[in-house]
Amino acid sequence: MAKPHILIVEAKFYADLADELAAGAIEAIEAADCTWDRYDVPGALEIPAAIKFAHAGQKAHFDGYVALGCVIRGETTHYDYVCGESARGLMDLALNENLAIGNGILTVEDWDQAWARAKRDQKNKGAGAAQAALAMIGLKQSFGVE
């Protein structure tokens, strides 16, 4: 069986945070002896569409997906919509398309929380999202799901 090939889709709205999350995800993917491609989108709301494009496209095959980004609470309700809709979009893809997706979109109150969850020497949720995607790939395989 071929090594799993993972697509990392990252929202670059906060580029420095996204890069740190991606570094953790790449470390986890490579530690599992898997391959990866990396694409960026403007913000968290665009991540589900990018994954859907990749899944529907004819140019590449991906066994799993890692969604990375950060949404920091502001003064308006926009935060709630971005958090909820990006998570819903990813869950809809996982359930409706049988996709193995690790959700590493941070939803935090401030910069300190964001960095605590992004830094590779702390909680790095990028690595956690990659590990979740790899676990779901394995589960799909064990059930014989295409």
Any binding-site annotation on 76?
Answer: yes
pLDDT in tens, 25-48: 999 999 999 999 999 999 999 999
Any binding-site annotation on 75?
Answer: yes
Look up the pTM and report it: 0.96
Weakly modelled stretches of the chain, pLDDT under 50: none
Helix (H) / strand (E) element for 12: namely none
Domains and CATH numbers, the chain: 5-143 (3.40.50.960)
Instruction: With CA atoms as reference, report the closest residue to 23 among 121, 98, 144, 140.
Output: 121
Query: Is 55 a known active-site residue?
Result: no
